[in-house]
Each structure stands twice: as structure tokens, then as C-alpha cells.
Amino acid sequence: MKAVPAFAIGAFREGAVPAALRASFAASWVHRMPANAAPPIIVAPDGTIDLQWIDGVLRVAGPDKEAKTETLPAGAMVVGFRFRPAAASAWLRISASEIVGQRPALEDFWGGKARRLAESVRVDGIRTDATSIVRSLEAALIEHAPAAFAPDRAMQAAYALIEAGPPAGVPLVPWLARSLGMSERTLRRRFEESFGYGPKTLDRILRYKRFVRLSRTSAEPTAVLAALVGYSDQAHLVRESRRLSGVTPRGRVRATLAAQRARS
């Protein structure tokens, strides 16, 4: 069965997290696979790390550098909590570089505490009630959150700078180092710890995200949008799109239209 982009299959919704979790998590989300046979899904990197609950098991979706294909059972429901930039390493108490491209169980890091957290989520009789499971997970995360949590504020600022888009024609790493008042060596080390990879990789991922957001609201030709977000030309965009999402921009449009037809 051919793999399809994750956004084009099943039902997905996103929501806000309670105030007690907002220092650690930017949002919660639920993705339910189709009840019939579910094809493999292509997950595009987004510059973040997620804590995910799948059928009673908590896992960490580590930072990805390129598109990753996963297979989930038909009817499976994934509940995710998206960490804020540079928050996951402090919350998990590991370097993000240890989990690049991986999907380890939370138990691998937290042992019995992770089991107790997963077991505290009430699913008996509400297995199909996504809202109830999300609320139960929120309560469990609040109860079991690390006592001392301090995200790397400098790396959060670095993420915001790259997300807004670096100045055209300015070398990325020296510009970031100057903006943050640190050496390039320190900058690279802190990026590895917080994001799992260096500034240039994060820049590539966030640039593609800017293109996707812009393409949803603009009627401009793809070549124009590519230039607006910083690609050297349309061919550059197509190469990056294949690497980061598994499809070309045109393929993304086709997948979106097919998903809309299937859900209507």
C-alpha cells in the first residue's frame, strides 16, 4: 500500500492545553486513523518534538530531519502533546540529539514513572471519546510533570528568529550567534541539545513550513511563493519538498484535494 502524507489521511484536530501545561507544551492534538485499512503515513519534520499516547503507551516522537514513514493500525487514535521549542530536552531531561529520527517509549527515560503516568489515564469505557482521553492525559501530565523545569530561553529566542525568516543574503550561523550573544561553537552545541540538529537544518524545516502556510492563503504561482520564503528557485523548493514531506508541492495539492473529497 502506497504511503500518503499524514495530513491527507484520517481525522485530525488540534487544541489548546491548560494553563498549567503551557510552559512546556504549545498544543494538544488528536489524529484518528481510518477504521478500514490505513496506509502507511509520511510524517514531515516540523522543528518540534511530541509526546504521544497510542493505545495506552506513551512515546516520544523525536526530532526528524527528513520525511519519515510510519505504519499505524486501522482505527488507531494518536493523542499528541507538542512541546514548545527547546522545551522537550529540559522536560525529558535528555539531549534532543539522542532521539533524532526515533520514536522511543517514555518509559525508556522515566522508567516506572512513565508507566504510572500511562496507567493513570482512564480509558475504560471511553476508548472512542477523544476529548475525555485528552483531558485525562492533561491531568496526568500536570500531576507527573518534572518538579524543576527550565526551558532554554536563548534557544527559544533562536527558534523565533529563524521562524520569522533570517535576513536575505546574511550567513545564518554568524547572524544567530551575534543576535544571541554567544560563540558559534556554543550556539551549535545548544542547538544539538535543544533541537537535535544545527541551525541550518532548523532553518530548512521552518522555511518549508513558511511555504506551506503561505500556499494555503495565496493564489500566487509556486515559483513566486518559493522566492518569497527564500528558495533560490522553484527547483530548489521541489527538492526540499520531496525531502521534507515526501511529495512535491503539486503532489501536496493533489493529496489535499483528495483528502477533502474523502472527508466531504
149, three cell numbers: 523545569
Final residue in a domain of this structure, among 144, 172, 204? 144
Q: What is the DSSP letter of 10?
A: S
For residue 83, give its domain range: 4-144
Residue 102 contacts by C-beta under 8 Å, 6 or more apart in sequence?
60, 62
* Mean pLDDT, rounded, for 27-52: 93
Q: What is the pTM of this model?
A: 0.92
Final residue in a domain of this structure, among 144, 162, 181? 144
Are 166 and 101 part of one and the same domain? no
pLDDT band at 124 (very low <50, low <70, confident <90, very high): low
Whichever domain contains 237, its CATH number is: 1.10.10.60
Are 132 and 235 part of one and the same domain? no
Each residue of 201-260: pLDDT tens digit? 999 999 999 999 999 999 899 999 999 999 999 999 999 999 999 999 999 989 888 877
* Interatomic CA distance for residues 102 and 178, integer angstroms: 32
Higher-pLDDT residue of 145, 7: 7
Q: What is the DSSP letter of 74?
A: T
The count of domains in the chain is 2
**pLDDT at 26 (0 to 100):** 97
Final residue in a domain of this structure, among 144, 167, 200? 144
pLDDT band at 127 (very low <50, low <70, confident <90, very high): low
Are 26 and 115 part of one and the same domain? yes
Are 89 and 191 part of one and the same domain? no
Taking the CA atoms of the chain, what radius of gyration do you get in angstroms?
19
Are 134 and 249 part of one and the same domain? no
Are 137 and 162 part of one and the same domain? no
Are 127 and 213 part of one and the same domain? no
Are 158 and 122 part of one and the same domain? no
pLDDT band at 112 (very low <50, low <70, confident <90, very high): confident
Do residues 78 and 60 lie in contact, with contact meaning Cβ atoms separated by under 8 Å? no
Percentage of residues of the chain with pLDDT beyond 70: 97
17, three cell numbers: 492545553
Percentage of residues of the chain with pLDDT beyond 90: 71
pLDDT band at 130 (very low <50, low <70, confident <90, very high): confident
Are 106 and 233 part of one and the same domain? no
* Interatomic CA distance for residues 256 and 234, integer angstroms: 20
Find residue 67's DSSP bridge partners.
none
Are 74 and 160 part of one and the same domain? no
pLDDT band at 128 (very low <50, low <70, confident <90, very high): low
What CA–CA distances, in Å, run from 162 to 82, 159, 170, 199, 254?
19, 5, 12, 8, 29
